[in-house]
Structure 1
Amino acid sequence: MTEAVNPWVKIGEGPEEETVLAVDFDVTGRLEANFRDLVGLLPVPVAVWQTVPPAESYRRMLTTEDYLAWWREYPDKGRRPVGTVLGYCVGSVFASELADEIEKTQGSRPRILLFDPEMPNTLSLYRDFGKVTEMMSVLSPEEKQQLLARAEEVRAEHGEEFDAVSARLIELYEEAGGAAFERLGLDEDLGAELLGLFRAYVSYLAAARKLDPSRGWSQARAITSAGSSTGARQAVEELRFEASHDELLRSPQAAAAAGAILRPKGE
């Protein structure tokens, strides 16, 4: 696995009067639109840095503080103000916490702009397990159906017990994926990285569950998809668009609304 050496990656070039930080779990092969898509659609160039998951999360479950410590040293800290913190889905939970920490450091509170903000729960975990299963091209349609059926058995057995459900789903994913990768003769390092991906994502969800984003969300503006989101109800303002959740960050209309919000505070 390629080790992440930097907790942030620059995804948008623009004037450097203010920095914009974006929190999301973005990995190669993701089907959903991402902040890179949004940045490419913004009406004006914006300097944007996005979180990178800690490499260690591919190997073991991390704590909430592990993530915050990894992202706490954001780019240009102490030299250039953070004007806005963005969050997508569960990343909105971490975005709220980072905004609190940034306020203490720079003495002014950054704006918070959230896209379909959501607290992680077992429903979203099962939903994303289904997406990951569909992405596993090494599995036949029959194998995918069997894997999803076993996930339904976990749901019936453990209900809303997030920690128990997440542990079992990781086991199922590693069992199915490991057998398939071995059958295909995949390189051991590549196989380990693919298997670790789901563990890293579940670690990200579990860590977010330990945070209370209510203060940040109550001061945020939310851009939401056609189905809205539970977290958006707490926002100061919700701007809803017809795009689906998966396509929200690829919506020209949503990008135009975000661009208006991301203008430097002095303009």
Structure 2
Amino acid sequence: MRGLAHWEELRSGDSGELILAVDTPPRGPAPSDFRELIPLLDTRHTVWRATESDRTHPRGTCLDEYIAPWTDEVRAAGLRVRAVLGYGVGGIFAGAIADGVGRDQGRTPEVLLFDPELVDSGTVVDEFRRLVSTVSHSLTGRALERLERESAALLADAGADDDAGALAIGLHGVLSQAIGDEPERVGSVAGMAGQALGLATARLSSLAIADAVNVVPLWSAGTALCSSSPDSGLNRTRSVLLLPDAALVGREILFEDRHAEVLRSTTVARMASELLGSSDA
């Protein structure tokens, strides 16, 4: 479908139904996304992937307000949503989008999660450092010095059990203030550099919003396809929460694949296709 503003079509099907895929916000230096998995699926359904938001939201933003651009576009298309896929932290928003779509169409789509995880302070710290490495060349002098000094103070105090949302908001504020120190410099930055600055602040605000979400009702009927990596997915979340037996999803299916391989695995794709019922559709 042409003219999509908040989704990109990865696959065109003939079933008249949609599968939505949400892998934003990404995590890691070279994160996987659903563009790797979707070609491996056996499905007759059209697949849309959510594009990353470049809007910055204050903490406390209503979840429905945050996901509205995605759900509104789905509603306008008039297509029935069969399932919503989520990857990593994106699984939080996938669950919320499925809930919102379900209210519109009278039936909640199936929720299928790939190595889903909650936001923790480590996630925020790692992402902030990657963002700074991306945007630091766009800042000079006083702005860069202030960014390094104030972020170092926040990062030094960050612990595994800290409020990840508050940390994201704090780091977002530091980055925004540093940018504001040199408006002439930032205003002269064109193209990709300027976009990177906007995306950095938007991504931190997304992490803060995701941290505030209660995933239990959103994931309770979902199925998680989990890797063997101890530092990713539900393994990571349970370790951070110190709750090794926490029931966070309705059903878990474990794979030997590592986190980086989950969306590239033919074994995982085969199971996902079976769960989606694509072969019988």
Shorter chain as denominator, the TM-score bin is: 0.7 to 0.9
Residues 52-67 of structure 1 aligned to structure 2 (within 5 Å)? 52-57=51-56, 61=58, 63=61, 64-67=63-66
Q: Conserved in 1, the CA contact under 8 Å of 2:166 and 2:208?
A: no
* Percent of aligned positions that are identical: 30
Compare 148-157 and 232-241 and name the one that shifted more.
148-157
Report how far residue 21 of structure 1 moved. 1.0
CA change 1:103–1:265 in 2 (3 A) is farther
Specify which of 231, 244, 249 is matched with residue 235 of structure 1: 249
CA change 1:225–1:219 in 2 (3 A) is same
Aligned residues: 254
Residues 68-107 of structure 1 aligned to structure 2 (within 5 Å)? 68-75=67-74, 79-107=78-106
CA distance in 2, matches of 1:88, 1:222: 10
Partner of 1:157: 157
CA distance in 2, matches of 1:250, 1:131: 24
Partner of 1:112: 111
CA distance in 2, matches of 1:137, 1:252: 39
Report how far residue 20 of structure 1 moved. 0.6
Report how far residue 19 of structure 1 moved. 0.7
Q: Which amino acid aligns with 1:169?
A: L
Report how far residue 154 of structure 1 moved. 2.1
SS in 1 for 2:52: coil
SS in 2 for 1:234: coil
Report how far residue 153 of structure 1 moved. 4.3
CA change 1:259–1:210 in 2 (3 A) is same
Q: Which amino acid aligns with 1:156?
A: A
Specify which of 256, 262, 267 is matched with residue 276 of structure 2: 262
CA distance in 2, matches of 1:5, 1:74: 8
Report how far residue 132 of structure 1 moved. 4.2
Q: Conserved in 2, the CA contact under 8 Å of 1:9 and 1:50?
A: yes
Compare 69-78 and 116-125 and name the one that shifted more.
69-78
CA change 1:150–1:254 in 2 (3 A) is farther
Residues 1-267 of structure 1 aligned to structure 2 (within 5 Å)? 6-25=5-24, 31-57=30-56, 61=58, 63=61, 64-75=63-74, 79-132=78-131, 153-159=153-159, 160-170=162-172, 187-227=189-229, 228-229=233-234, 230=237, 233-264=247-278, 267=281
Q: 1:170-229: per-residue Cα shift (whole Å, max 9, x none)?
A: 4666799999xx99xx94343221122221111111112232221221111001121251
Partner of 2:144: none
Q: Which amino acid aligns with 2:127?
A: D
CA change 1:96–1:265 in 2 (3 A) is farther
SS in 2 for 1:258: helix
SS in 2 for 1:246: helix
SS in 1 for 2:73: coil
SS in 2 for 1:247: helix
TM-score (norm 1): 0.76
Q: Which amino acid aligns with 1:256?
A: R
Structure 2, unmatched stretches of 5+, are 139-146, 239-245
CA distance in 1, matches of 2:98, 2:252: 19
Q: 1:126-159: per-residue Cα shift (whole Å, max 9, x none)?
A: 23334445667969xxxxxxx9998664233254
CA change 1:80–1:212 in 2 (3 A) is same
Q: Conserved in 1, the CA contact under 8 Å of 2:115 and 2:259?
A: yes
CA change 1:133–1:112 in 2 (3 A) is same
Structure 1, unmatched stretches of 5+, are 140-146
SS in 1 for 2:260: coil
Report how far residue 233 of structure 1 moved. 3.9
